[in-house]
Amino acid sequence: MSKHFCQSLSRWILLPSAVAALTFLSGCRQDMQNQPKMIPQRESLFFPSGRSVRPQVPGTVARNQGDADSYFQTGLVNNQVQDRMPFPVNMTVLRKGQERFNIYCTPCHSRLGNGRGMIVERGYKPAGNLLEPRIAGEPMGHYFAVITHGYGAMPDYAAQISVQDRWAIVAYIRALQLSQNATLQDVPPGTNVQKLSEVSEQMGYSAQFPEQWTLPELTNVPGAGDMHSDLVGQKQAMPASAQNAPKNSFKKNSRHTGTK
């Protein structure tokens, strides 16, 4: 059998196999617009029920889901706020609450919780005084709900603060409130307590230093809508000579007097 005849025979044998292989591979081709995935709320032939969305197995909880109706998640029991923590409070919880409070709450409420934070001092809407008897009398679940959902001009912080940390802030708020009228009788037996005057002396200050400190008055900065009318009033109150004076004269006077 000649070599040429063997090569021709091999081609005729391999050609149908190659065609069959190409036909098989083309049948396995998957376009991107026809991806093998389950689209929510669409039917599926894979499951007997015809649904692509699988029902949750009874008695199970999805990861990070928790009990959405629990007191830990809502601060409510039978749709009523409660005055209790959903877990025990220790110094670790209070330190975490203080840290989160100082980050998210002090711009409006200040570190004292008196509602006179830095942005309030600069004209933002006054925040609630957490030490005021009316607000201090609110149950702990109320503070959790306010942090979660917002209240009045205060936005919600559910996206920024985890549920656990929200409760830690609540515990720290209650500690701030209790500290305003705390007495030595409130301290557990055996606890070493120092007077504020003693701490001041240890830090190099006088014993009367804490008593001399007072809160600053609110600045009451006018809002953007009020500033124009105030400027107009100031201009009307100026003498005519000052209103018509060149701008450069004011600059020279300010340099001369040393004012800005």
Domain locations in the chain as residue ranges: 71-182
Q: What is the pLDDT of residue 8?
A: 58
SS3 call for 80: strand
- Three-point CA angle 138, 141, 142, nearest 5°: 50
Q: What is the pLDDT of residue 124?
A: 85
> What's the pLDDT band for 254 if we cut at 50, 70, 90?
very low
β-bridge partners, 43 = 51
β-bridge partners, 76 = 81
Give me the amino acid identity at 156: D
Under CATH, which number does the domain 71-182 receive?
A: 1.10.760.10
Distance CA 68, CA 83 (A): 19
Average pLDDT over residues 101-105: 96
Token output for 249: 């004269």
DSSP annotation of 151 reads: B
**CB neighbours of residue 132 within 10 Å:** 13
- CA nearest neighbour of 134 among 121, 115, 106, 155: 115
β-bridge partners, 151 = 154
> What's the pLDDT band for 197 if we cut at 50, 70, 90?
confident
8 Å CB contact between 167 and 145: no
The share of the chain scoring above pLDDT 70, in percent, equals: 67
Predicted TM-score (pTM) above 0.85? no
Q: What is the pLDDT of residue 185?
A: 83
Which sign does the torsion angle of CA 179, 181, 187, 193 carry? positive
